[in-house]
Amino acid sequence: MSGQSAPQGTEGTDTGTDAAPGPGPRSVAAHQAAVAELLRHWFEAHPPAAETVPVAEAAGRVLAADVHAPGNLPPFTNSQMDGYAVRSADLAMPAGESAGESAAAGPDGRAVDARIRLATAAHIPAGSVPPPLQPGTAAPVMTGAMLPEGADAVVPIEACDPDHFLPAGTAGTVQLPAGIPPGRFVRRAGSDIAAGALALAGGTVLGTLQLGLLAGLGLDRVAVRPRTKVLLLTTGDEVREPGQPLGPGQIHDANTTLLRSSLEAAGARVLRSRILADSPAEFLERLRADIAADAPDLVLTSGGISKGAYEVVRQALAAAEVRFLSVAMQPGGPQGIGTVDGVPFLGFPGNPVSSLVSFEMFLRPALAAVTGTPRPRVQVQARLTEPLQSPPGKHQIRRGRYCPDGTVVPVGGPGSHLMHALASSNALISVPVGTEKLPEGAEVTVLLVD
Amino acid sequence: MSGQSAPQGTEGTDTGTDAAPGPGPRSVAAHQAAVAELLRHWFEAHPPAAETVPVAEAAGRVLAADVHAPGNLPPFTNSQMDGYAVRSADLAMPAGESAGESAAAGPDGRAVDARIRLATAAHIPAGSVPPPLQPGTAAPVMTGAMLPEGADAVVPIEACDPDHFLPAGTAGTVQLPAGIPPGRFVRRAGSDIAAGALALAGGTVLGTLQLGLLAGLGLDRVAVRPRTKVLLLTTGDEVREPGQPLGPGQIHDANTTLLRSSLEAAGARVLRSRILADSPAEFLERLRADIAADAPDLVLTSGGISKGAYEVVRQALAAAEVRFLSVAMQPGGPQGIGTVDGVPFLGFPGNPVSSLVSFEMFLRPALAAVTGTPRPRVQVQARLTEPLQSPPGKHQIRRGRYCPDGTVVPVGGPGSHLMHALASSNALISVPVGTEKLPEGAEVTVLLVD
């Protein structure tokens, strides 16, 4: 009944005595490694089969395998500018002239740009296949249009005289600057990526920029890893669903929303998110039925794992391969980790802030490292706008508001029930073990969160 | 036909001569302001009606109005720890004793903690309503459980003797430390947020942390602003949909994917994303039909706005309230802005990198400022791992890979067709006007992108 309690949680009294084999609490780094190892072991034993999805629906998914370019990008050599496609040999600097040493010097001794007149060929719009470029001619070419055979450079229209195109079909001449090197303003076929080259490595998270490349390569479907399936359970029979009226002593469930939203934003699929009653026997029965029915990759609970007199998760899983231990972190000290019927299990504490911090510190990094999604949080250094204190022997995670000027404002104090303060923060401030006082202006590491 | 061309775009030759009234190109800041003003004017004239959605589906949406707490959070005064609820007056320091000045000194002169023995009352699980606490008694209370009337402090179980709870129903006594101040380890009703107080301001983007607060407040539905409706059109009849085979001179459309994914990630709704043929008359006819049918908030095109001989968007909209101008930015210099049939219009250049940079520099910040979503990109300072050059008079936007150590590696050079390099970057590096050379190690401002 204190599983998820008002405000959800029971982490206050875990003194760490269960954190065998050492006598003290486990370090944050050691528990991070343990959570990642739990997931790694599961996915090594249960390698997920790839699924193929439309590129338009693949945002946030993880590439199942390397993608090689099916063709050149660009597919053909084309112009980088609106201008004239030329043979650079036709525009060689006249004998005796070179940049900075010109035979044609003006009255003040400064070089005058040498110009060469060529006959104009037919326009080359993008999407057309031009005839070969005859020597001594220049073909009006649009950006992205195919370069004609023989052409090896492009002169931008604004460098020409006249500096606009003649109407299509008009025969004429154009004056072009001399000394254009071969390759100028030419995009070679395959210069972005060559056919057969590695475009994106397996394990890449597909964001906008990666989806754009797949589309540019002509791919409309892509093989991705399946989403990690998470069975999410919230404990506490004093806990009511949002939208339901509260009786005396009852509270609304925030943890399910916090964890489901966090998991979904991290690319996982939440199979069930249920508030379970506080009887250990009923909890275990339902949990095992859900595991059998849903085949999750992970069971995640919040609440009921500390050392109160009513700890449903802890009591229900006393016989399972689960350890309940203390991590030297505040909030989020009490943690459960192990397997239930062979499936990875994590038990987070019941306070909303504690469960959110547990997700950000343990589960999210493990998902990122093992499954490839989500992308790791951005971590930056920031200057505190006010002093902070932290308890000895704890890695304290405070909530804060990171500002574009590189400062971070702590919000809400250390209390793990403060959801309003949590909702006004965008950063988690780390105060590692060994640091008990930080002055205003001190540099701290912050994780930027949504 | 050069509208979206291989690789999509026509920005090379815009010399800025259309950027009336000034003679030169418009600054990035001036165009950012113009784009925001265009959207602000539209939404002021067409204020969107709020829609109510389940909290579970509200991630990324924007609150339509202030949300005030419907009740106290926590709803009732409760314990922050597993321990004993007490009347602090029962644990007053014995006469003559105070911290550091104890009548009960040990042999070495150090103070011995004074202890007081109280009779134990019935257990208080979370979710129950306890009877009033009788003077001279201590009630075992679980974290989050309601404090009994009369109790004003909690003593954590590990500070007590015995340091574990007696079985429920057992009568007994417990030794507690003296000198416990009132309020210790008590969470007062409303201390997180009081009934009626502002919980979240209208305009707040709903991320995980905000959704958690709404749930904790018992809300399961929330009024949000409608998504911005964008009609997305890509030009160029040499452009083929991904998945379709290419003929000579043809390319696959990357812009639709880049812009649709960017818009959706920014919380907008893409109404149509069509590749339109390159005839100006056909383009205009279809565009006006789509505007009439879809009632978009914004028309966004890519390609066809530069100064080549075949610029379908520019030619089609010559008679519309649209300006085609040059912004002092590379890539993404050519820009179209105005209204078509009264609806805001933006025309981005056709190169994929140019259209993505245009989105990040102009449209995304305007959507954030005017509609409240998306959240602004995180902007950080980073050290260049290699020198950079930038053309005079341009705000150059380079692609880069930002690393957790605070460095940024430029990738792919300035070429606006380089999708492979774009897909390996996670940051846009700003090199503002007036900076033409930056050495290795120079600090630059980078925008972190997905």
CA dihedral B237, B243, B248, B254 (to 10 degrees): 60
Which tens digit of pLDDT belongs to each residue from B263-293?
999 999 999 878 777 689 989 999 999 999 9
Domains of chain B: 28-48+227-371 (3.40.980.10), 52-72+201-225 (3.90.105.10), 76-188 (2.170.190.11), 379-448 (2.40.340.10)
Structure tokens at A203: 């394990």
Nearest to B153 by CA among B189, B122, B188: B188
Run of H or E residues at A285 = helix A280-294
Nearest to B366 by CA among B26, B34, B63, B28: B34
Q: What is the DSSP string of B353-403?
A: HHHHHHIIIIIHHHHHHHH--SPPPPEEEEEESS-EE--TT-EEEEEEEE-
CB-CB neighbours of A104 under 10 Å: 12
Averaged over B243-254, what is the pLDDT?
A: 95
Query: According to the model, what pLDDT value does residue A382 have?
Result: 94
Q: Which residues of B touch A17 (CB under 8 A)?
A: none
Q: Which residues of A290-312 are buried (b: 16+ CB within 10 A; e: fewer)?
A: bbeeeebbbbbbbbbbbbbbbbb
Which tens digit of pLDDT belongs to each residue from A171-220?
899 999 999 999 999 999 999 999 999 999 999 999 999 999 999 999 99
Contact B87, B149 (CB under 8 A): no
Return the residue in A253, A257, A269 with the most chain B beta carbons within 10 A, the one to mutate for interface testing. Answer: A257
Which tens digit of pLDDT belongs to each residue from B100-134?
444 444 444 444 579 999 999 999 988 889 999 99
Query: According to the model, what pLDDT value does residue B112 have?
Result: 52
Q: Which residues of B touch A380 (CB under 8 A)?
A: 378, 380, 406
Q: Which residues of A touch B155 (CB under 8 A)?
A: none
Any idea which residue has 């109404």 for tokens?
A: B271
Contact A174, B38 (CB under 8 A): no
% residues pLDDT > 70 (chain B): 90
Query: According to the model, what pLDDT value does residue B97 have?
Result: 56
Return the residue in B147, B208, B356, B405 with the most chain A beta carbons within 10 A, the one to mutate for interface testing. Answer: B208
* Residue B387 in this model has a pLDDT that exceeds 80: yes
Beta carbons of B216 and A425 less than 8 Å apart? no
* Residue A103 in this model has a pLDDT that exceeds 70: no
Query: According to the model, what pLDDT value does residue A270 have?
Result: 97
Which tens digit of pLDDT belongs to each residue from B40-49?
999 999 998 9
CB-CB neighbours of A369 under 10 Å: 15
- Range of lowest pLDDT (A169-173, B135-139, B260-264, B366-370): A169-173
Averaged over A69-77, what is the pLDDT?
A: 97
Query: According to the model, what pLDDT value does residue B96 have?
Result: 60
3-state secondary structure of B213: helix
Q: Which residues of B touch A249 (CB under 8 A)?
A: 76, 126-129, 145-146
Query: According to the model, what pLDDT value does residue B238 have?
Result: 84
Query: According to the model, what pLDDT value does residue A322 have?
Result: 96
Beta carbons of A356 and B210 less than 8 Å apart? no
Q: What is the DSSP string of A24-66?
A: SPBPHHHHHHHHHHHHHHHHHHSPPPPEEEEGGG-TT-BBSS-
Q: Which residue of A has its CA nearest to B261?
A: A208
CA distances from A70 to A76, A195, A222 (A): 14, 6, 13
Q: What is the ipTM for the molecules in this complex?
A: 0.87
Structure tokens at B249: 């001179």
Q: How far apart are CA A423 and CA A277, in angstroms?
A: 28
- Nearest-CB residue to B142 (from A2, A243, A422): A2
% residues pLDDT > 90 (chain A): 75
Query: According to the model, what pLDDT value does residue B236 have?
Result: 79
What are φ and ψ of residue B407, in 5° steps? -100, 165
Averaged over A382-395, what is the pLDDT?
A: 95
Peptide bond between residue B404 and the one before it cis (omega within 30 degrees of 0): no
Which tens digit of pLDDT belongs to each residue from A293-332?
999 999 999 998 887 777 889 999 998 899 999 999 999 9
CA distances from A399 to A37, A384, A413, A416, B380 (A): 28, 12, 8, 10, 20
CB-CB neighbours of A173 under 10 Å: 14
